[in-house]
Structure 1
Amino acid sequence: MELNELHWMLDILQSIDVGVVVLDREYRIEMWNSFMESHSGLEPEEVQGQSVFRIFPEIEEAWFRNKAETVATLGTRTFTIWEQRPYLVRFKNYQPITGQEDFMYQNTTIIPIKDATGKVGHICVVIYDVTHVASNKKQLQNVTARLHQLTRTDALSGLLNRAHWDKSLEQEFARHQRYQRQLSLLLLDIDEFKVFNSQYEHAAGDLLLRSLADLLGQHVRNLDPSGRYAADQFAVLLPDTAVEGARQLAERLRDAVSQQVLLHDGQAVRYSVSIGVAELDANCLNPRQFCERAEQALARAKQAGRNCVVAYA
């Protein structure tokens, strides 16, 4: 009867769709099931008596020993999940539904096996394939991140949309009031944009907007909130920057734009920008007044003949 029970228990271990590895206290493999054989390509006879660390060098030995010794000492099982550690042993992923994943994501349970005297003489490691769970969660996270990005950014330029740029303005304004940090603002306007759209059609206008957005990405810091302020206008906040530093950056941007040559339907296209610069000070009572200063400076740049930079005085 005992032999029969042992037979069907072993049969179950070979049939279940999880990996089962039994180790002695020296971390030598004493048994593993068909799941392990199938995914590793190694038959039981090849691994019998071998160190698990030699068969699977990707296992972080110090970490695993600490886990296993705790299990043996306390006599209680422990768990690892894929979000903490993607896998214990690196197996290729062969599931067609999750074929985009390079490896099998795994949850792992480490179980103490006691002998007749109650002493822990072996450790059982159970490996669960949770690639479908991990893949679904990653896809959901990617979709959520993409949706979040879409709600924050302008679809054409890829910069912040006006609503989220305004939020950045409010945050930087509050920091200025609390810590007296310097803050400057650039307001860029594409010269004769409406005339350009009429002459070349809207596709060319979109090309100009994307080109200007790309230039902003190349010249401003990642911490400088840049956004689409209006149809043909972009705004850049410059924390910890005084008006002179902001004006110098504006000149570099204006010059970079003037040197650009874009191709539209095989035709070379040039354009220019006018830029208004403003610095926040104690006389600005709210973010709207700060923007109005930059708008006034921009209007003066337009009146001065366009393709120039004017700072609010």
Structure 2
Amino acid sequence: MAIDSSLAEMHWKHDLLGSIEVGIVVLDKKYNVQVWNQFMENHSNIVPGMIQDKCVFDVFPDIDKDWFMRKAEPAFTLKSPVFVIWEQRPYLFKFDCNRPITSPVSHMYQNITIFPLASLSGAVEQICIIIYDATNEAINRLGVQELNAQIEEISRIDTLTTLLNRRYWLEQFDLEFKREKRTENPSSLMILDIDNMKGINDTYGYPAGDTIINGLGKVIEKATRETDVCCRYEGQKFAVLMPDTPVANVEFLAQRIRRLVEKFTVVHDQINLNFTISIGIAGFIPTYTECSQWFKVADNALRQAKEAGRNNVFVAE
């Protein structure tokens, strides 16, 4: 009768471990596997007999051994449970994602709990790891984060040129100005404007003007560095902030951009259109108290370039 009772108990425990929708792994002090339930078998394709009494790090070498042992130590020594969520570490056991083929992730995200298993003497000889499939939660959270990042990115961009828009550029300009006030580095500001834009719009229409604006945006993007902060400031006017760059270097670049634009042709409704630009340049001066002063000096330099006959570069004194 006692044997039948033991078999019955073993059966329901096995049935429980097999039907529960979480992973259950029991490890001894040497991190050898003692229990490996059906969930773990299903997702790893490793049956209990293949992993029983084997070190989990030997079977799963991609587990960060030092990290996991640090996490498990409080369970062994302090009898304290440990929790690790997927945002801290995406997974402990790298299992394939069993979501539909359209799922945006390739692996299962996991939350894990490590808790002590005390023997009759009270000593902790084993720990139990419970693995929860947190993939749905992760997909939803990551999806929201990605959407928010896309919205934030869109809010910074000028849709016609894909350069920064005026609002976001002014924020960066103000930050750079404050940095310049602290460091007094030789940074420069360049303002570019398409010559005779009104004549272009009147002759060919505003869509042609937009094509030209878009073309200039591409020239500026290709000619400047990743560290330069470029924007379509308004209408046909562009601004380029060049941190840690002296005016002499910027004047060389401005002339290069001017010549590139002079030779550049855009096509609108099968019509080849050419245009020129004027550029004003101003270096940072430590006596400026507001960034608007710096911008005004560069804008006045642009006006002088226009007054000198357009298709010019003028550097503020």
Verify same fold: TM over 0.5: yes
Shift of 1:284: 4.5
Shift of 1:23: 1.7
Q: Deviation per CA, 1:229-262, whole angstroms, max 9, x where unpaired?
A: 1111100122333322221121122223234344
Is the contact between residue 163 and residue 217 of structure 2 (CA under 8 Å) also seen in structure 1? yes
1:39 paired to 2:39: no
Shift of 1:105: 0.7
SS of the residue corresponding to residue 17 of structure 2 reads helix
Q: Residues 70 and 40 from structure 1, CA distance in 2 versus in 1: closer, same or farther, beyond 3 angstroms? A: same
Q: Residues 29 and 285 from structure 1, CA distance in 2 versus in 1: closer, same or farther, beyond 3 angstroms? A: closer
Match of 1:251 among 251, 255, 258: 255
Match of 1:298 among 295, 302, 311: 302
1:231 maps to which residue? Answer: 235
Shift of 1:79: 1.7
Shift of 1:33: 1.1
1:85 maps to which residue? Answer: 89
Shift of 1:85: 1.0
1:149 maps to which residue? Answer: 153
Shift of 1:196: 3.0
Match of 1:206 among 206, 210, 213: 210
Q: Residues 116 and 286 from structure 1, CA distance in 2 versus in 1: closer, same or farther, beyond 3 angstroms? A: closer
1:73 paired to 2:70: no
Letter in 1 for 2:283: E
For structure 1, which segment, 132-141 or 47-56, has the greater mean C-alpha deviation from structure 2 after superposition?
Answer: 47-56
Identity fraction in percent: 41
SS of the residue corresponding to residue 281 of structure 2 reads strand
Superposed counterparts of 1:151-300, under 5 Å: 151-281=155-285, 284-300=288-304
Match of 1:121 among 102, 107, 125: 125
Is the contact between residue 98 and residue 132 of structure 1 (CA under 8 Å) also seen in structure 2? no
Shift of 1:5: 4.5
Q: Residues 32 and 185 from structure 1, CA distance in 2 versus in 1: closer, same or farther, beyond 3 angstroms? A: same
1:9 paired to 2:13: yes
1:49 paired to 2:59: no
1:133 maps to which residue? Answer: 137
Is the contact between residue 98 and residue 131 of structure 1 (CA under 8 Å) also seen in structure 2? no
- Taking structure 2 as the reference length, the TM-score comes to 0.88
Distance of 1:135 and 1:210 partners within structure 2? 37
Is the contact between residue 183 and residue 239 of structure 1 (CA under 8 Å) also seen in structure 2? yes
Distance of 2:287 and 2:125 partners within structure 1? 77
Distance of 1:302 and 1:241 partners within structure 2? 24
1:109 maps to which residue? Answer: 113
Is the contact between residue 172 and residue 183 of structure 1 (CA under 8 Å) also seen in structure 2? no
The CA RMSD measured in Å over matched residues stands at 2.4
Distance of 2:217 and 2:161 partners within structure 1? 6
Shift of 1:66: 2.8
- Taking structure 1 as the reference length, the TM-score comes to 0.89
Distance of 1:201 and 1:42 partners within structure 2? 69
Q: How many residues align?
A: 313
Is the contact between residue 184 and residue 286 of structure 2 (CA under 8 Å) also seen in structure 1? no
SS of the residue corresponding to residue 165 of structure 1 reads helix
Distance of 1:182 and 1:130 partners within structure 2? 51
Match of 1:95 among 99, 104, 107: 99
Letter in 2 for 1:131: T
Ranges in structure 1 where 5+ consecutive residues have no aligned partner = none
Shift of 1:28: 1.9
Ranges in structure 2 where 5+ consecutive residues have no aligned partner = none
Shift of 1:266: 4.8
Letter in 1 for 2:232: R
Shift of 1:87: 0.8
